Structure 1
Amino acid sequence: MAAQEQYEELARQLSAVAAVRRDLGRLLPPDCSPASAIVLAMVQKHGELRMSRLAELMAIDMSVTSRHVTYATEHGWLERHPDPADRRSRLLSLSPDGEELLREVSARYTQALAGCLQDWSDDDLGTLIGLLARLRTSFGDCRARPHQHLAHAAGAAVAG
C-alpha cells in the first residue's frame, strides 16, 4: 500500500490537473460552458437517453441536469422528443449543431494537448491515458460502494 505522503502528493497533483482542465475550458466557444460540453459529450457517448439517466451518468442532481439540458436545447445543441416506450417521458439526442460543436471542441482540445505535450513520447501518453482511466474506474467503483471509503479518506486527510 502506498505511503500517506504519496496520497498527499497525489492530492496536490490532482489539484494541478484541475487547473489544466480550467485552462482547457477556456478554449471552448464563448457560449459553451464546460458543463454544456460535458452534457453533449455524454449524450454523444450514450446515445438517446432520458434526463434522469443523464443525471445519473453525470452524478449530479436532476435540477442541475435540467438547467444544463435547457441551456443546450435553447442553443440548438440538443433535441428532445417523446420516448416511444413511454410517451410521457422525453429522450435527449444531439442535434446536428450539437455534433458540430463537439467536433469543434474536440479539435480545439486535441490541438492544445498536442501543442503542450509535443515532447512526450507515445509510450508516456499511453501510460498517462491508462493510469487516468484506471483512476476514473477506481473512483467509479468507490461511488458504487457505500460512501464510507470516501468519507473515511476525507476524515483521515483532515486528521492527518
Structure 2
Amino acid sequence: MIIRTATAADHDAIWSILEPVIRAGDTYALPRDWSREQALSYWFADGHHTFVAEDDGQILGTYYLKANQKGGGSHVANCGYMTAAQATGKGVARAMCQHSLEVAKDMSFAAMQFNFVVSTNSRAVALWHGLGFQTLTRLPDAFDHPTEGLVDALVMFRKL
C-alpha cells in the first residue's frame, strides 16, 4: 500500500468512500444529505492536505491533515480519515494515521488533536488509543447518532 497526495483524478474514488460514510451518519458530524460537490469541497478545503491510501491501483482510504486552529492553535494538527467499506479491518486506517503523524511532524506540528470522535465508533477509539492518543474529555450527548440517539463525543490528543 502506498499513501500519496490526492489529485483531482481521485475525486470519483474518494466520493465512493465519503458517500456511504456521510449517508450512514454514525461516525462524522456532517450533513447526511450533502452532495458530491459539497463533500469533496469539504474534504479538499483550503488548508487541507488530502491524501489517499492506494493498493494495486485501488484507493482504499483517504484522509486530510490541517491545522486544528488558526493563530495560536496552529501548531496542533487535526485530521479526518475514511476507509472504503471493503478495506475495513485491513490496516488502512492505521497506516493512514501513522502516515499523518509523520507528515504532521515533518510540517512542524507539535501535536495532533481529534476534536469530535463519536464514542460509539469503538474501532476508531481503540485504534487511536493504540497509536498513543489520550482521551482528554468526553462531551456528553454531543452527537445525535441515527440509531443510538444522543451519544458522547471524545476529544483525543497526542504530542508528536
TM-score by length of 1: 0.26
Q: Which has the higher strand share?
A: 2
Higher-Rg member (1/2): 1
Q: Which has the higher helix share?
A: 1
TM-score by length of 2: 0.26
